[in-house]
Amino acid sequence: MVRMLLAMKSLRATSGVWLSHRTWIRFCWLVLAVCVAIPGHAAEPPAASAKEIRERIDAAAKLLTEGKNDAAVVALAEGIAGLEGVAAMPRPPAGFKLLADRADGVRRKLDKAGVDVSMLSIPAPTAPAGAAPPQKPVVGGKTTVSFARDVAPILAKSCGGCHIAGRKGDFQMASYEALMRSGMVQRGAGQASRLVDVILTGDMPRGGGKVASDAVATLVKWIDSGAACDADPTAGIDLLARGGGAPPPPRPATALVTTPPQPGEVSFAAEVAPLLANHCLGCHGGNETEANFSMASLASLLRGGRTGPSVVAGKGAESLLVKKLRGAGIEGQRMPLNKTPLPDADIALIEKWITEGARLDLLTGATPLDNVVAAGLTKRLSDGELAKLRSSAGEKLWRRAIPDEEPVVAFREGVCVIGNLPAARMATFADAAETVTGGARGELGNAGPLLKGGVVLYAVKQAFDYSTIWQNVVGSERPKGISSHAGVVGEVVYGAMLAPAMESEDDLEAAIAEVVAAAAFAGRNVPAWFSRGVGRAVAARLFPKSALVLQWKRDSVSAVSRLGSAADFFAGHSEPAATALAAGGFVGSIAGGNKLAQMLAMLDEGTPFDDAFVAVFKSTPVQAFEKWAARASR
């Protein structure tokens, strides 16, 4: 197959007959389909090794960066052909999923570059006969292997220099959360996990190091039993290893309790958080942070990094954060690194906040710092001022994601629509968004605006536009099966959706209702699973006969078996499409009467989400989910 693709590429270049890239690709696949259908021409998939497959996929990625799209397609086709061969095996080799994900990432980049990749599909392994059924959601399951006590020390000793402190080979696992996000661990499949595979094959650790056989056995046992985490999943693996399995270093209790500042005291949300967000998050806010020190939330800021706690509540001048900002009494360089130092007045403000107890005045210690900053603005500005700020920030986000296409902007009550739909359709879409926003406001019993400052709604016409927006706001490749979502990034509370032609007006309005209602709750800093579930629950109430809504209901039950576990669902580690379906079914099942309106009112009064949930639904989220999942699994 690959030789034929290469031969046809050569023919295209020498025949003197010019074909567009898209036409050429379709021609190649048509000829291949005909050849495979001819008796005697069918062949078994090539028996390629994992190394050979990886080399072809990596070659495709390199060719793509060099602008050699035709050659990249051929190289990727070779890699996919190898994947097809191993996918049909009774037990695919270790690392198959990682290779398939890598190939899918290259395919998506080709798609965004305007290359027709409709004929390139990534194979999935065939489940072996007698394979165990998917695990039902289980919460609180116990394992004899502790991640903090047993696994973290192994990883820190064997991998720490390259993949915890550094990012060798474009891979870093500074925390449990980062490790699981990397795809190196497949829950329940220790021997098949890439983490174990690279150790057993001798590929890692580099430099002649070895991992003891009993340590490998511990890793396999941990993964086979579900790869659970018995510590803070965002805590540094090296910190856990130094603690011998102890919980993360204690944090000042006052810092994680929301306490409004007294007159004359410094507000963390309004004064300190904006300084940290503007000057520090570039190095200490992502998934791979310098010195394993994250400032993505107040909790991670207080936890500190490799050199220990950065803040000592009540002792501003003695806190490492203040010393680093002043560049005095420290080892290493002044912060922010290679940038203009903060003004003395700003450093003094941060010191005063720490001396006053390093208190949090809005939301929770786990809330992303950007969201805390946005909450501070929300509290300080009027609805009109916030709407103006939010729409302006929303346009900037669009231009960062899709810089080569000027957006159409349509303002409506409660919503600012930004997109690249044709002008007439954009106006129709914006009108529908305004109507739906009003309907959602009535459904949730909100006398004022659905959300102070309104929602920014992105409406795009092509899949790669939506993927680009996803990458800019979420920071990862768009998952399969997701064509809409909502969230908060900086000052922007947004919903984004791929807006192809809907079969009916009800379907279009149901899709808009899901995104707008989800964004309204995301703007109140609820967990992502809850905002997504509310979106679908509200859409189902407003448009119960929509074919889209009926499809969600049919699929929500079967999605439970794809979640992995309830812990994965609540932590955001489950398959995103399954999470959306299950969240809609779960929240829809408990949100009868005016319970969502009650939740909205309590959140607006400042009640923490967990407390509001218990007060309204008379159980914790885990308890309620377990009951629903048990019914759905029957």
Residues 562 and 466: beta-carbon distance below 8 Å: no
φ/ψ region of 562 (left if φ > 0, alpha if ψ in -120 to 50, else beta) reads: alpha
Q: Give the pLDDT confidence of 274-317 residue by residue, as tens digits.
A: 999 889 887 887 655 666 688 888 888 888 876 778 899 999 89
Q: Give the model's confidence band at 28: pLDDT under 50 very low, under 70 low, under 90 confident, else very high.
A: low
581 token code pair:
């379906």
Q: What is the mean pLDDT of residues 418-433?
A: 93
Over range 567-579, report the average pLDDT: 87
Q: Is the pLDDT of residue 632 over 70?
A: yes
Tell me: pLDDT of 494 over 90: yes
User: Taking Cα atoms as reference points, which of 242, 338, 234 lies closest to residue 287?
Assistant: 234
Instruction: For residue range 80-111, list pLDDT tens digits in order.
Output: 888 888 777 765 655 666 678 788 778 878 87
pLDDT tier at 579, thresholds 50, 70, 90: very high
Q: Average pLDDT in the 386-396 region?
A: 93
Q: Could you tell me which residues come within 8 angstroms of residue 317 by beta carbon, excluding any fewer than 6 positions away?
A: 351, 355
Compute the distance between CA of residue 432 and CA of residue 412 in angstroms, rounded to an integer: 10
Q: Give the angle subtended at the CA of 596 by the CAs of 593 and 598, to the nearest 5°.
A: 90
pLDDT band at 389 (very low <50, low <70, confident <90, very high): very high
For 170, residues 6+ apart whose C-beta sits below 8 A from its C-beta are none
Per-residue pLDDT tens digits for 208-224? 678 888 888 899 899 88
What pTM was estimated for this model as a whole? 0.61
For residue 487, give the nearest of 552, 376, 599, 394 by alpha carbon: 394
CB neighbours of residue 144 within 10 Å: 8
pLDDT digits (tens, 9 = 90+) for 13-24: 444 444 444 444
Task: Give the pLDDT of residue 533.
Answer: 96
Q: What is the pLDDT of residue 256?
A: 62
Q: Which of 76-85, 229-238, 345-354 shows the lowest per-residue confidence on average (mean pLDDT)?
A: 229-238
| Residue pLDDT, tens place only, 126-162 | 544 444 444 333 334 445 788 888 998 998 888 877 7
Q: What is the pLDDT of residue 513?
A: 96
Whether residue 338 has pLDDT greater than 70: yes
Please compute the mean of the pLDDT values over residues 495-501 and round it to a whole number.
85
For position 198, what pLDDT does the model report? Answer: 82
pLDDT (0 to 100) of residue 286 = 60
Give the CA distances from residue 609 to residues 439, 528, 599, 602, in Å, rounded to whole numbers and listed in that order: 24, 12, 8, 9
Task: Kindly tell me if the per-residue pLDDT of 530 is higher than 70.
Answer: yes
Mean pLDDT of 60-87: 86
Mean pLDDT of 621-627: 93
What pLDDT, on a 0 to 100 scale, did the predictor assign at position 45? 42
Which pLDDT does position 22 carry in this prediction? Answer: 41
What integer is the mean pLDDT of 193-200? 84
Backbone phi and psi for residue 226, each to the nearest 5 degrees, phi listed first: 115, -5
pLDDT score of 170? 63
Look at 161 and 504; give whichever has higher pLDDT.
504
The torsion region of residue 327 among left (phi > 0), alpha (psi -120 to 50) and beta comes to left
> Average pLDDT of 247-254?
42
The class that CATH gives domain 381-633 is mainly alpha
Predicted local distance difference test score (pLDDT) of residue 548: 93
State the average pLDDT over residues 380-408. Answer: 92
Secondary element (H or E) of residue 280? none
- Say if residue 385's pLDDT is above 90: yes
pLDDT band at 590 (very low <50, low <70, confident <90, very high): very high
| pLDDT of 565 above 50 | yes
3-state secondary structure of 440: helix
Please report the pLDDT score of residue 38 as a whole number. Answer: 41
Among 25-39, 104-118, 602-616, which is the least confidently predicted range? 25-39
Average pLDDT value over all residues in the chain:
81
